[in-house]
Amino acid sequence: MDEHRHDPPTAGTAPLLVVLHGHGSAPQFVAPIAETLAARTGSVPWCPSGPHRVPDDGNGEGRAWWGPDDEGPLAEHVRSVVDVLERHGGAVRIAGFSQGAAMALAVAAAYTAAVPGARPAVIVVAGFLAGDTAVPAGADVLVVHGDADEVVDPFHGDLVARRCRRNGCDVTEFHHGGGHVWDDAVTAAVAGWLRR
């Protein structure tokens, strides 16, 4: 992925695809996923970086969406992503992995609250609800979880799906036999869902 993909994109007519990395990761590790999904769905990818530096997973680039003393994403960090979505002005797709999925839910909730009639596509992979995070209203939501996930129990995916349905979202669930991963099979499932 080109470095400019980490910078906010300019306004355009193609759907904007935001892919948010997990805790201890960085944009360059979700960039190949974003590029693949963008190519398969005609989207413009954007992979922002979490605002907090954290002990990394051996790659020297550890970032997080909220700090160790926070129970979830801070309003100003959510707002910084929502501002980009509003400036884009077109269709919006918000995806995240693990902690990034929790951030994606917070961003989608803020976006649907700020933009009347907005109906983003939200992809929650191995995600959870952080603290008192709201869920989006009236969004299209795909919840993906591995039945063998030992990092974020599959129960959390079920909870996300239930809460989103209660808030008027059209929810699709995709379970796989793997663990805490976003692999090629997950990418294929996400791309297929986005194309529908």
| pLDDT tens track for 34-63 | 999 999 999 999 999 999 998 765 656 799
Residues 53-111 pLDDT 10s? 987 656 567 999 999 999 999 999 999 999 999 999 889 999 999 999 999 999 999 99
Range of the domain at 71: 9-195
Question: At 175, which CATH number?
Answer: 3.40.50.1820
Number of structural domains the chain divides into: 1
**pTM exceeds 0.75:** yes
Place of tokens 């970032």: 63
**Residue 154, domain member (yes or no):** yes
**Residue 1, domain member (yes or no):** no
**Residue 156, domain member (yes or no):** yes
**Residue 139, domain member (yes or no):** yes
d(Cα 39, Cα 41) in Å, to the nearest integer? 6
d(Cα 190, Cα 62) in Å, to the nearest integer? 25
28 within 8 A of 7, measured Cβ to Cβ: no
**Residue 176, domain member (yes or no):** yes
